[in-house]
């Protein structure tokens, strides 16, 4: 693998205050009177650096955003309560899904490795564009992946931009991984890399919040991927019956195009939350 990774040591796995740790799952799942798991209450999480889809709420424990709103509506239709909580960075959330210390993720791209530890609900609830970011004065004239060969890039640790691009990047590109989008944008703005790969909407939201004005994105997308709701293979509530109810709920909400209004509301709340 040719992605040059920043070694974070224990920092990658240390959660910020208020986060729910994986080994504490028994303290956070709701149990019935006989001590068994109550599957009318599910725990979900997601990438906390992902506005307007997801970000850490002011209480420090929950995640807010359009994807959280969508998942809660899914729960209502499926007859379960789904709480969307903050468990740490995106890498930690994926580890939570591997060990079953959360039940669901509110937004993930489809990749082969992730199929090994979580089920995907169809159809996807949103399409996203991943783009190349550079300093404003730099023009890479980017139009295809091969234009990035030989350049120093950045991305956020444990992120995926679709299986096809991930494979190409592993074999051909030099990309350092950083803990958060916030850090990646700041490093790029201080000329510590030549480009950053990240999704268009979250990149614009974070740059605006941090008042980073010396960056540009390119009109040609690196990839366009679908966002899915997923359930951990190791969730104690992952049953055929529940998956069926959730799938029906996802299908109805996607058919009703509810994400358009949820994204507008998420953008508004993100601005209110950060101003």
Domain assignment present for 3: no
Same domain for 187 and 234, yes or no, is no
Interatomic CA distance for residues 129 and 124, integer angstroms: 14
The sign of the dihedral angle between the CA atoms of 186, 192, 194, 199 is negative
Domain assignment present for 136: yes
Q: What is the pLDDT of residues 188-218, one digit of tens each?
A: 999 999 999 998 888 888 887 788 889 999 9
- Bridge partners (DSSP) of residue 154 are 176, 196
Domain assignment present for 5: no
Residue span of the structural domain in which 185 resides = 128-224
Domain-terminating residue out of 202, 224, 246: 224
**Closest to 190 (Cα-Cα) out of 150, 139, 141, 135:** 135
174 or 111, higher pLDDT: 174
Domain assignment present for 9: no
Question: Above 70 in pLDDT, residue 18?
Answer: no
Q: Are 36 and 75 in contact (CB under 8 A)?
A: no
Query: Counting Cβ atoms within 10 Å, is residue 2 exposed (0-12), middle (13-18) or buried (19+)?
Result: exposed
Q: What is the pLDDT of residues 69-125, one digit of tens each?
A: 999 999 999 999 999 999 999 999 999 999 999 999 999 999 899 999 999 999 999
Interatomic CA distance for residues 212 and 230, integer angstroms: 33
CATH number of the domain to which 28 belongs: 3.40.190.10
pTM of the model: 0.73
Same domain for 145 and 166, yes or no, is yes
| Of the candidate ranges 4-13, 122-131, 216-225, the one whose mean pLDDT is the lowest | 4-13
Q: Are 44 and 85 in contact (CB under 8 A)?
A: yes
Interatomic CA distance for residues 229 and 93, integer angstroms: 14
Same domain for 104 and 237, yes or no, is yes
Interatomic CA distance for residues 79 and 97, integer angstroms: 22
State mean pLDDT over 45-61.
93
């Amino acid at each position: 693998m040719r992605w040059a990774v920043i070694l974070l040591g224990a920092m990658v796995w240390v959660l910020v205050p208020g986060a729910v740790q994986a080994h504490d799952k028994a303290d956070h799942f709701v149990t019935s009177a006989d001590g068994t798991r109550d599957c009318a209450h599910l725990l979900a999480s997601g990438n906390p650096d992902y506005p307007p889809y997801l970000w850490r709420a002011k209480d420090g424990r929950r995640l807010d955003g359009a994807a959280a709103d969508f998942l809660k509506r899914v729960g209502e239709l499926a007859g379960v309560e789904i709480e969307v909580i903050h468990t740490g960075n995106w890498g930690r959330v994926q580890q939570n899904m591997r060990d079953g210390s959360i039940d669901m993720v509110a937004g993930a791209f489809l990749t082969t490795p992730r199929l090994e530890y979580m089920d995907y609900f169809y159809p996807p609830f949103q399409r996203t564009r991943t783009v190349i970011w550079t300093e404003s004065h730099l023009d890479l004239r980017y139009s295809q992946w091969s234009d990035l060969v030989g350049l120093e890039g950045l991305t956020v640790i444990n992120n995926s931009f679709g299986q096809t691009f991930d494979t190409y990047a592993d074999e051909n590109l030099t990309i350092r991984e950083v803990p958060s989008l916030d850090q990646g944008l700041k490093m790029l703005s201080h000329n510590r890399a030549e480009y950053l790969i990240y999704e268009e909407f979250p990149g614009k939201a974070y740059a605006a919040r941090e008042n980073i004005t010396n960056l540009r994105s390119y009109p040609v997308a690196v990839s366009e991927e679908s966002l899915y709701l997923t359930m951990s293979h190791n969730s104690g509530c992952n049953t055929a019956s529940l998956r069926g109810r959730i799938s029906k709920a996802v299908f109805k909400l996607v058919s009703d195009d509810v994400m358009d209004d949820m994204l507008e509301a998420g953008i508004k709340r993100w601005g209110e939350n950060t101003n």
